[in-house]
Amino acid sequence: MTGMARQRDAFLPAHAPARWLLATLLMPALAHGQSGASALPQPDAPAAATRGVSANAAREAASAQLEQVRPVANAPLDPSLPGQPQAPPVMAADAVPAKPVDVDAAAADSAATAASPPQRGVIFRITPPAVALLPAEAGQSTTPGPGQSASSATPATSVPPPRPSYLLGTIHFGTPEEQGIDYAKLEQLLGETETFVNEANLDEAWKSEYDGYRWLPVETPLEAMIGKEAITLANALLPQVRPQDLQRMKPWSVLALLEARGESGGEATMDARLQRMASGAGKRLAHLETLEQQLQALDCVPAQEHSMVLAERLRTSWILRIESAEAMAFYRSRNLDAWLASIDRMEGLGEQAKAIEQRSRYCLLEERNARWIGPLETLFQDGPSLVAVGAVHLVGNDGLLAALRRDGYTVEALPW
C-alpha cells in the first residue's frame, strides 16, 4: 500500500505551510490543530530503515466473493446434526494419541483462520469481545443475606453488551462517484459514534524541519539520480508540477503523484472531507500517528535506492496508468483482498527494485499496523468510534481486520 500512503504526503510547494498526508503534502496550508483534536500516545518509533510498496498492479487479481461469516451463538452440541462440533473423545490415562500435535502447523492454521474468510467491503462493523467480570464481581450472589428480605438482596453485577464501532478503508484519489461512496450514509454512521479517528491530523501545520523528508538537497537534483530521459518523462506525466520543484522532490513523492493520476487532492479528498464532517458534528478527534511519524514511514528508504524504483516505473509508465485505473476498480467493487494481491505482484519492476519496494511496504503497512492496533482496540473498548485509514491497511494476514479477529473482535462487512 505504498501508493495509498504516498499519495497523502507527496508534494507541497516550497511556500505552502501545510500538507495533506497520504494524498497531498501538496496543497495549501491548513489551520493548525482542530479544536478537540488529540494525538494518541505512541511507543517510540524504531529507527527508519525501510518504507512502503507502491500501490500498483497490472493484472486484475480474481478473487471469489465469499459469504460473510456471522458469529453464531453458543448452543448445545448435537452429534446427530451435520456440521456440529464434536466433543473430544475421552482417553484413558495411558492412551497414546494417534498423531502428535504439530505446534507450528497449528499456529499457522490459527493465523490463516484469523485472516479469513475475506469479506468484500470498505466499511466494517467492529464489535469488541464481551467484557469478562472480575472474580469478585462474578461471585456476587442474589441470595438475601442475614436480616435481608428477598426484595432487598443485591443483584449480581451485569455488564452491558459492547457497542459497535466502524472501520472505513479510504482511497486517496478520485471523486465520490468513482469511489461509490455515499457520504450521507457515512454521516449517519458518524452520528452513532463518539470519536472520529484517522491516520494523522490533516490540519497540522507544516514545519520547516519536515522539509528534509520530501526535498532532495540542492546539490543532488532528481535528474542526477534517474537520468535526463526519465526526468523528461516525469515532467510530461506531471505537467502541474513546476520543473524546478520536480528536480527537488524525493522519489517517493514523485511516485505518489504518479500513482494518484497526478491528483494532489487537498480539501476534496475523502480523508479531508471526513475530518471536516467529524469536526463539524462536534465529534472528538483522535489520530493514530503524528505528521512526522507518517513522513518518516514514507521516507524510510534512502532516496538514492528508491530512485531505481522511480526510474523503472517511468520506463513503463503505461503500467502506472493501468494500475491506477485498477486500484479504483478494486475499491469500487469493494475487493480489497484482490487489490492487495495486485500490489504484491509489483508488476513492471525488476528483482532489485522489488526488494527495495518490499522494504518500503514494511514501513508503510506492517510496521504501522502493528503500532496502530493497540490504540485502536483501546478506542473500540472505550466507546463507539468511526475510524478511517487507507483501505489496504485493512486486509491481509498482517492487516487490521485479521489482528482484530485474532483478539476476539467480531468483524462484519457492511453491504455498501
pLDDT digits (tens, 9 = 90+) for 248-289: 999 999 998 888 776 665 667 899 999 999 999 999 999 999
Which of 2-6, 22-26, 238-242, 352-356 is least confident? 22-26
Measure the CA–CA gap between 403 and 114, rounded to whole angstroms: 7
Summarize the confidence of residues 115-121 as an average pLDDT: 69
Dump pLDDT digits (tens) for 205-239: 999 999 999 999 999 999 999 999 999 999 999 99
| pLDDT at residue 260, as a whole number | 79
Residue-wise pLDDT for 98-108, tens only, equals 334 444 544 44
Q: What is the 3-state secondary structure (H, E, C) of 275-299?
A: HHHHHHCCCEEEECCCHHHHHHHHC
Q: What is the mean pLDDT of residues 93-114?
A: 43
Cell of 36: 478537540
Residue 78 has pLDDT above 80, yes or no: no
**Contact between 58 and 309 (Cβ < 8 Å):** no
Instruction: Print the domain residue range for 189.
Output: 2-59+113-131+158-413
> For position 373, what pLDDT does the model report?
98
Residue 374, amino acid: G
Exposed, middle or buried: residue 283 (CB in 10 Å: 0-12, 13-18, 19+)?
Answer: buried
Q: What percent of the chain has pLDDT over 70?
A: 63
Q: What per-residue confidence (pLDDT) applies to 130?
A: 85
Least confident of 45-59, 167-181, 190-204: 45-59
For residue 198, what are the β-bridge partners? 287, 388
What is the C-alpha to C-alpha distance for residues 252 and 258, in angstroms, rounded to an integer? 10
Q: Kindly state the percentage of the chain with pLDDT values over 90.
A: 54
Three-class DSSP labels, the chain: CHHHHHHHHCCCCCCCCECECCEECCCCCCCCCCCCEEECCCCCCCCCCCCCCCCCCCCCCCCCCCCCCCCCCCCCCCCCCCCCCCCCCCCCCCCCCCCCCCHHHHHHHHHHHHCCCCCCCCEEEEECCCCCCCHHHHCCCCCCCCCCCHHHCCCCCCCCCCCCEEEEEECCCCCHHHHCCCHHHHHHHHHCCCEEEECCCCCCECCHHHHHHHECCCCCCHHHHHCHHHHHHHHHHCCCCCHHHHHHECHHHHHHHHHCCCCCCHHHCHHHHHHHHHHHCCCEEEECCCHHHHHHHHCCCCHHHHHHHHHHHHHCHHHHHHHHHHHHHHHHCCCHHHHHHHHHHCCCCCHHHHHHHHHHHHHHHHHHHHHHHHHHHHHHHHCCEEEEEEHHHCCCCCCHHHHHHHCCCEEEECCC
Q: Is residue 140 assigned to a domain?
A: no
- Under the banding of pLDDT at 50, 70 and 90, the label for residue 57 is very low
Is 81 inside any structural domain? no
pLDDT of residue 222: 97
11 and 214 Cβ atoms separated by less than 8 Å = yes
| Arithmetic mean of pLDDT, 181-196 | 94
Residue 269: predicted pLDDT:
85
**pLDDT greater than 50 at residue 4:** no
Q: Which positions ≥6 away from 346 have C-beta within 8 Å?
A: 53, 54, 56, 57, 353, 354, 357
122 located within any domain: yes
> In this structure, is residue 139 part of a structural domain?
no
Q: How many domains is the chain built from?
A: 1
Nearest Cα to 165, choosing from 195, 141, 185, 135?
A: 195
pLDDT of residue 27: 33
Contact 265, 24 (CB under 8 A): yes
- Tell me, what's the pLDDT at 408? 96
Measured CA to CA, the distance from residue 250 to residue 257 in angstroms comes to 12
Q: Confirm whether 310 is domain-assigned.
A: yes
In a domain, 141, yes or no: no
Residue 40 resides in a domain: yes
Q: 46-60, 94-108, 131-145: lowest mean pLDDT where?
A: 46-60
Task: For residue 107, tell me if it sits in a domain.
Answer: no
d(Cα 369, Cα 367) in Å, to the nearest integer? 6
Q: pLDDT tens, 142-173?
A: 555 566 665 555 555 567 788 999 999 999 88
In this model, does residue 336 exceed pLDDT 90? yes
